[in-house]
Amino acid sequence: MADQSSGSTPVDKEDNWGYDLYPERRGEAAQAKWWQVALFGAGQVKTEKISCERNVYNCFQNSPLVKLMYSALKASGCEIDLRRHIACEVCDVKVSGGYDPRLNQIVICQNVARSKGMVQGILTHEMIHMFDACRHELSFKDLNHLACTEIRAANLTHCSFLSAMTQGDASFFRIQKQHAECVKNKALGSVLAVRPDVTKEEALAVIDKVFLKCYNDLEPIGRRIRRNSADMIRAYQERTNYGYE
């Protein structure tokens, strides 16, 4: 809370949920670790940023999922400008990326997400949050809204039926249950990461409350992506069925 006696405007602490994980969001300059300076020189942070930005650009040019999300956002009136809406920054190592609803900006953690594949996953995940904020007037202060968008992002980008299949019984119903549990666990971790005021029990309760509706909402990708499949390409090819160019 800002010092009100100085005449400054107080800051709602709710607006800063999760910002401790993104120091540059708080105005702190990124500093290279001592071992980075010793091994690579003082320019390590700058080198990471350049590499991150190249990976982002590559994904927007070549990733079917990222291109699909870009088309969906554009069709919804929320076209992405790479210079304005995507930022590569140094973050807490507990996170690899995030969506800043105040600035409508996606953060890629340059010190964590170093591969094109990882950057693709983060971009797609966070672009789903951006899509939900654009299309559905998402409020991250509303725990129901937050849980729903985290369920959708985990469902569409992180958990796959193939990974569930390798965990044991390969029956359809068993795989389906394991996939749903993967989505719930991922959503739980994301909710707790940005809402320190919420207990695990409270988060689980709201996830269970909205799960079925949000789990079955596959917009705008239209399908759950299976690992090592052609689903990403198929989803991109089918984008015109939903009015996305």
pLDDT digits (tens, 9 = 90+) for 142-195: 999 999 999 999 999 888 644 444 444 444 555 678 889 999 999 999 999 888
pLDDT band at residue 67 under the 50/70/90 scheme: very high
Q: Which two tokens stand for residue 23?
A: 């120091």
In the prediction, which pLDDT does 227 show?
73
Task: Report the chain's mean pLDDT, rounded to a whole number.
Answer: 81
pLDDT digits (tens, 9 = 90+) for 106-132: 999 999 999 999 999 999 999 999 999
What one-letter code names the amino acid at 83? R
Q: 146-182 burial, b for 16+ CB within 10 Å, e for fewer?
A: bbbbbbbbbbbbbbbbebbbeeeeeeeeebeebbbeb
CA dihedral 225, 230, 233, 234 (to 10 degrees): -80
Catalytically active residues, by annotation: 126
Q: 207-245 burial, b for 16+ CB within 10 Å, e for fewer?
A: beebbeebbeeeebbbebbeeeeebbeebbeebeeeebe
pLDDT: which is higher, 176 or 35: 176
